[in-house]
């Protein structure tokens, strides 16, 4: 299997406490969208390579909600949860996101699937919080490794 | 019925695109919370005096969702919807919020119920969006009248 790896761009917005992540995938929007909404596909790619993902519930529709667990062989465990504000097939997912280790922190996330033609998709994922301190702590948390590795794994799922 | 009317403060945050609304009520947190979560009470106060509120669904629990309609006798109608990220009895509601006339706009809202003692509650409600332009348009939309009148009506519900 040969997959061209596209660059993942992670940018801290200058004006608002938001992180913007962009990444191109060699698959059409419907296929990239399905990999975000089908739990059986999601567990194959979300998060860094050294973690196992376990889904408690994942009802990916407007008004649904989710919770999942990431665990590493060294015993590290992290749980995440939120609700789906809007899910528009092949176009958009708007959801909330909380890392349960920091239960009062909530991000508003928006994932946009844009058709680039030729079977390619531009994914833009934004994460908005209410202070620059929390945004910068999120960026400094090592999330970058998880995002880049996760999208490399997603390349593999899409090529499979 | 005599109700002392407390002042409603509406402040635009200087650093982030957020509006912060604070208001004291002469009722304990459990009672003010119930008026936010019980649909039969909510329809009696949410919004300006000249509107009727009709609830399509209002499942106010962590992971639930809602949709409601405000209508005026002149025929004006506005629909609002979102999901409940977290509902902690008598303490906190975190939810998303969209005015369907502007379907791509989403606010992350947090309502905190703080016990001031002596049967009084300080309500702090924040609304976060991803641009200052959208925040300022929200402030300029006439929302102030609806918020102030709504809280005066809530005084009456709490005293009733």
Strand, helix or coil for residue A127: strand
- Give strand ranges (E) for chain B: 9-12, 18-25, 51-58, 65-72, 77-88, 92-99, 107-117, 120-128
**pLDDT over 70 at B1, yes or no:** no
Nearest Cα to Cα of residue B57 among B84, B17, B31 = B84
- Interchain pair A83, B98: CB under 8 A: no
Percent over 90 (pLDDT), chain B: 92
- Interchain pair A131, B16: CB under 8 A: yes
- Interchain pair A85, B82: CB under 8 A: yes
What is the pLDDT averaged over residues A114-121? 98
Q: Name the pLDDT band for A1 (thresholds 50, 70, 90).
A: very low
**pLDDT over 80 at A18, yes or no:** yes
Mutation for A interface: B79, B81, B85, most A CBs within 10 A: B85
Look at the pTM and tell me if it is higher than 0.90: yes
**pLDDT over 80 at A4, yes or no:** no
**pLDDT over 80 at B130, yes or no:** yes
What is the pLDDT averaged over residues B2-21? 90
Average pLDDT, chain A: 95
pLDDT tens for each residue of B89-124: 999 999 999 999 999 999 999 999 999 999 999 999
A108: chain B residues, CB-CB within 8 Å: 96, 106, 108, 128, 130
Mutation for B interface: A61, A83, A91, A126, most B CBs within 10 A: A83
Q: Closest-CA residue in chain A for B132?
A: A16
Q: What domains appear along chain B, each with residue ranges and CATH number?
A: 9-159 (3.30.530.20)
Residue pointed to by tokens 């789906």: A84
Integer Cα distance of A136 and B33 in angstroms: 33
Q: Name the pLDDT band for A5 (thresholds 50, 70, 90).
A: confident
What is the pLDDT averaged over residues A125-139? 96
**pLDDT over 90 at A110, yes or no:** yes
CB pairs under 8 A between A and B: 67
Question: Exposed, middle or buried by CB within 10 Å (0-12, 13-18, 19+), for B104?
Answer: exposed
Structural contact between residues B49 and B149, judged by C-beta atoms closer than 8 angstroms: yes
């Amino acid at each position: 299997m040969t997959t061209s790896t596209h660059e993942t761009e992670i940018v801290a917005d200058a004006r608002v406490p938001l992180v913007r992540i962009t990444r191109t995938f060699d698959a059409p929007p419907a296929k990239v969208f399905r990999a975000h909404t089908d739990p059986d596909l999601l567990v194959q790619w979300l998060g860094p390579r050294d973690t196992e993902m376990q889904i408690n519930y994942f009802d990916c529709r407007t008004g649904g909600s989710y919770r999942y667990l990431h665990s590493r062989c060294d015993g590290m465990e992290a749980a995440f949860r939120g609700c789906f504000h809007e899910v528009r097939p092949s176009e958009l997912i708007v959801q909330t996101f909380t890392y349960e280790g920091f239960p009062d922190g909530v991000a508003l996330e928006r994932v946009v699937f844009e058709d680039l033609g030729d079977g390619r998709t531009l994914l833009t994922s934004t994460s908005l919080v209410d202070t620059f301190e929390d945004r910068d702590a999120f960026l400094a948390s090592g999330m970058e490794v998880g995002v880049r590795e996760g999208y490399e794994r997603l390349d593999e799922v899409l090529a499979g």
